[in-house]
């Protein structure tokens, strides 16, 4: 096939961008011409619009794939292979209207994210990160922690990832309750907030649940409770969370995701010892990442040939 006739594939997901030489070669071997934009975390609508006019396929990250973007990409764009599981940044109605299939890797990170969730929860409940930092600074602290056995884990979202987190919670000896309208036994968010000792978010972001964790929810939580977010930053009203942590109305937080990423240098969360922070990287298990790499390439090949 002449070089000018090779399908053009936009690669904007951070995971493949971080291994550009490897995937540049892989995509060329598949018969495609990869396009590599400069991306810090994900592309906003303006950056997407500047790039999508002449692409045939898209290996997307959490980019703002709006109706305007999809209309600019049509009719040439044959499909979007989203790296990972979450597709909430893509306008699915617009994609359907324009005949652009959206593919992902559902359930791929259940084990990886569940393990990190409990790693971060334990950092807060047993003050592991604080102790580590203190020892490095010359101290030798003996903080008292909170055991998980006998505590109540409140899951918001009980899909593949949430279900795996719930399973690990039971293995720790926790009582598990959940809010998930699609699962039997779901309870209302404020009821869950009042009962749970650890609340963990593992749901997709929708227009209906944006800022689900707001001041009212946080006020309903026990002052000994901890909030863990392994899902999407905008599920949480970050200003309300910071206020709750500063006032002591909740005990701590374990956060892999944020409203704005990367986290700003002056964000108050960075100065709180009762907060564990990560870089939207709970899916970082080697086997899981490699499986998603392979499936993402398979997905784009299914529409480009």
pLDDT in tens, 233-243: 999 999 999 99
CB within 8 Å of 236: residues ≥ 6 apart:
201, 211, 212, 213, 227, 229, 259
What lies within 8 Å, CB to CB, of 295 at 6+ separation is: 105, 108
CA 219 remoteness from chain centre: 25
Q: Residue 1's pLDDT is what?
A: 39
Regarding whether 215 and 265 lie in a shared domain, the answer is yes
The pTM score is: 0.89
CB 124 within 8 A of CB 253: yes
Residues 244 and 115 in one domain: yes
CATH number of the domain where residue 30 is located:
3.40.50.720
Query: Is 196 found in the same domain as 59?
Result: no
Mean pLDDT for back-to-back runs of 10 residues, the chain (305 residues): 77 97 98 97 96 97 97 97 95 98 96 98 96 97 96 97 98 98 97 98 95 98 98 98 98 97 95 96 95 98 96
What pLDDT does 4 receive?
64
How far apart are alpha carbons 153 and 117 in whole angstroms?
12
Catalytic residue, candidates 45, 71, 115, 261: 261
Do 12 and 118 fall within a single domain?
no
Regarding whether 210 and 135 lie in a shared domain, the answer is yes
Q: How many domains does the chain have?
A: 2
Query: Which residue among the candidates 164, 178, 179, 280 is catalytic per the annotation?
Result: 280
Instruction: Give Dmax (Cα) for the chain.
Output: 68
The residue from 179, 232, 238, 293 that is catalytic is 232
Q: Are residues 84 and 147 in the same domain?
A: no
Helices first, then strands: H and E counts in the chain? 12, 11
State the DSSP code for 4. Answer: G
181 and 251 share a domain? yes
Q: How far apart are CA 219 and CA 246, in angstroms?
A: 13
Domain that holds residue 214: 110-277
Given a contact cutoff of 8 angstroms between Cβ atoms, the answer to whether 60 and 12 are in contact is yes
Q: What is the dihedral of CA 303, 203, 48, 104, to 10 degrees?
A: -10
Judgement on whether residues 128 and 247 belong to the same structural domain of the protein = yes
Place of tokens 């986290």: 263
Q: What is the pLDDT of residues 201-216, one digit of tens each?
A: 999 999 999 999 999 9
Q: Which residue has the tokens 């053009």?
A: 8
Task: Please say if 280 is a catalytic residue.
Answer: yes
Residues 22 and 133 in one domain: no
Do 101 and 124 fall into the same domain?
no
The verdict on whether 232 is a catalytic residue reads yes
The reply to whether 97 and 135 lie within a common domain is no
What is the predicted pLDDT for the residue at 305?
87
Q: What is the pLDDT of residue 2?
A: 40
- Which helix (H) or strand (E) segment holds residue 153: the answer is strand 152-156
Together in a domain, 294 and 233: no
């Amino acid at each position: 096939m002449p070089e000018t006739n090779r399908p053009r594939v936009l690669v904007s997901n951070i995971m493949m961008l971080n291994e550009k030489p490897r995937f540049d070669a892989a995509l060329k071997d598949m018969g495609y011409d990869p396009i590599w934009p400069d991306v810090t975390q994900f592309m906003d609508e303006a950056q997407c619009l500047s790039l999508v006019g002449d692409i045939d396929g898209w290996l997307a990250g959490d980019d703002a794939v709006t109706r305007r973007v999809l209309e600019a990409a049509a009719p040439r764009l044959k499909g979007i292979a989203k790296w990972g599981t979450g597709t909430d940044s893509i306008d699915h109605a617009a994609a359907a209207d324009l005949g652009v299939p959206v593919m992902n890797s559902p359930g791929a990170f259940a084990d990886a994210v569940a393990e990190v969730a409990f790693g971060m929860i334990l950092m807060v409940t047993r003050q592991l990160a604080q102790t580590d930092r203190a020892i490095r600074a010359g101290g030798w602290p003996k903080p008292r922690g909170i055991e998980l056995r006998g505590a109540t884990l409140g899951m918001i979202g009980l899909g593949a990832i949430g279900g795996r987190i719930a399973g690990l919670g039971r293995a720790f000896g926790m009582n598990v309750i959940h809010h998930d309208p699609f699962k039997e036994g779901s309870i209302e968010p404020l009821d869950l907030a009042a009962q749970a000792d650890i609340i963990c978010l593992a749901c997709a972001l929708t227009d209906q649940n944006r800022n689900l964790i707001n001041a009212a929810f946080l006020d309903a939580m026990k002052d000994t409770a901890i909030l863990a977010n392994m899902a999407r930053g905008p599920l949480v009203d970050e200003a309300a969370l910071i206020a709750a942590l500063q006032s002591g109305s909740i005990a701590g937080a374990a956060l892999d995701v944020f409203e704005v990423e990367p986290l700003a240098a002056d964000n108050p969360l960075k100065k709180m010892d009762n907060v564990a922070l990560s870089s939207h990287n709970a899916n970082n298990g080697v086997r899981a990442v490699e499986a998603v790499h392979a499936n993402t390439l398979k997905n784009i090949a299914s529409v480009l040939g």
